[in-house]
Amino acid sequence: MKLTTATSHKLALVLAILMCTACSSNDDQTPPAGDDSESSLNESDCTYLDPGDLVPGSGDGVEDRKYWSPNMISPFGMVNAVARSQVYSPGGLGSPNTDQCAAENFDYPHRDTFCERRSADRDSFNCPSRRIHQGIDINAGTREQCLQLQQAAQSVGNGASPDIANLIPVLAVEDGQISYIGSYTVDLRPGQGSISRYRYLHLNMRTLNVDFGTRVKQGDVIGYYSNDFGSTPTTYHLHFEIIAFVDGVAEYVSPYASFILAEEKSKNIDCVRLL
Whether residue 204 is predicted with pLDDT greater than 50 in this model: the reply is yes
Contact 116, 61 (CB under 8 A): yes
Q: Provide the residue range defining the domain that includes 171.
A: 6-273
Residue 68 lies in a domain: yes
Structural domains in the chain (count)? 1
Residue 143 lies in a domain: yes
152 Cβ contact partners less than 8 Å away, ≥ 6 residues apart? 160, 164, 165, 167
Higher pLDDT, 23 or 191: 191
Whether residue 188 is predicted with pLDDT greater than 80 in this model: the reply is yes
pLDDT value, residue 44: 64
Residue 30 lies in a domain: yes
pLDDT tens figures, 116-173? 999 999 999 999 999 999 999 999 999 999 999 999 999 999 999 999 999 999 999 9
Residue 252 lies in a domain: yes
The rounded mean pLDDT for the chain is 88
Residue 38 lies in a domain: yes
Residue 219 lies in a domain: yes
How far apart, in whole angstroms, are the C-alpha atoms of residue 65 and residue 70? 12
Quote the DSSP letter at residue 272: E
pLDDT tens figures, 150-161? 999 999 999 999
Q: What CATH number did the domain enclosing 201 receive?
A: 2.70.70.10
pLDDT tens figures, 234-265? 999 999 999 999 999 999 999 999 999 999 99
Q: Return phi, psi of residue 249, to 5°.
A: -110, 135
Residue 1 lies in a domain: no
pLDDT tens figures, 11-60? 444 444 344 333 333 333 333 333 443 334 555 689 999 999 999 999 99
Residue 224 lies in a domain: yes
